[in-house]
A = this chain, B = another copy of it.
Amino acid sequence: MARNVVVRQISRADAADIDALATAGVATVHEAAGRTGLVGPEVAARQQGVAIAGSAVTVSSHPGDNLMIHAAVEVCRPGDILVVTTTSPSVHGMFGDLLATSLKAHGVRGIVIDAGVRDIATLRAMGFPVWSRAVHAQGTVKATPGSVNVPVVCAGQAVVPGDVIVADDDGVVCVPRAEAAAVRAAAEARAAKEEEKRAVFEAGALGLDLYNLRPLLADLGVEYVDRLDESGGQP
């Protein structure tokens, strides 16, 4: 049964793969990973135009208690992203500019937190990116045990320490560490294809034709009519 632990060492994916996943972006990585890995949209970007990737150092905390975030800093390495969850839903302001300063000093690239953050103006000014459930200043305690680097669920997504976290304006996606290279390859292939499709769409082509959807529409019984009847009613 569960004990509270701080796990000092985790395995991480290849740094070049991680950086390439940041370039690919959340939507492309999610598709490349077989449409898996998305953290729920309630954990949203708190700044615009930032895209990062890094290795997940996970935290499981009591709501409103940031003791385990402090414990996590010590096991972070440059290039990591902190992923913080709580044992029940919370918007308590568990993270602010001092902890961000500490994480930044240790090379952490950002935080994904299924709770609240505060000092958001300072966080934006210092360039420490945040994806959170809320912005809320409610002060925290340091009183209850939790764990660092155990498997967690963040806004509906299971995250194992060392997984690759990719985060941008679209939200957050988690790639299993062992699949980072394969997902990178698939993402780059997909991005290349999307560039081609974009050119085709810009030229006015229809998805109906590009994806050969007309037979499907017919199979599904979708009918084409010129006009709805005059009554304006549902056909």
Q: Which residue of the partner chain B has the closest CB to A46?
A: B169
Q: A1-B32, A64-B62 are in contact. Are A233 and B176 (CB under 8 A)?
A: yes
Q: Give the CA-CA distance A97 to B195 in the complex, in Å.
A: 11
Q: Which residue of the partner chain B has the closest CB to A205?
A: B102
Inter-subunit contact B225/A137 (CB<8 Å) = no
Q: How far is the CB of A44 from chain B (nearest CB, A)?
A: 7
> Taking the full assembly, how many copies of this chain does it contain?
6
Q: Which residue of the partner chain B has the closest CB to A36?
A: B2
Inter-subunit contact A198/B98 (CB<8 Å) = yes
Q: Count of A residues near B, CB < 8 Å? A: 121
Inter-subunit contact B63/A207 (CB<8 Å) = no
Residues of the B chain whose Cβ atoms lie less than 8 Å from the Cβ of A119: 25, 27, 170
Flag whether A13 is at the interface (Cβ < 8 A): no
Name the residue among A116, A137, A168, A204 with the largest chain B CB count within 10 angstroms.
A137
Inter-subunit contact A91/B89 (CB<8 Å) = yes
Inter-subunit contact A87/B138 (CB<8 Å) = yes
For chain A residues 1-16, which have a beta carbon within 8 Å of chain B? 1-10
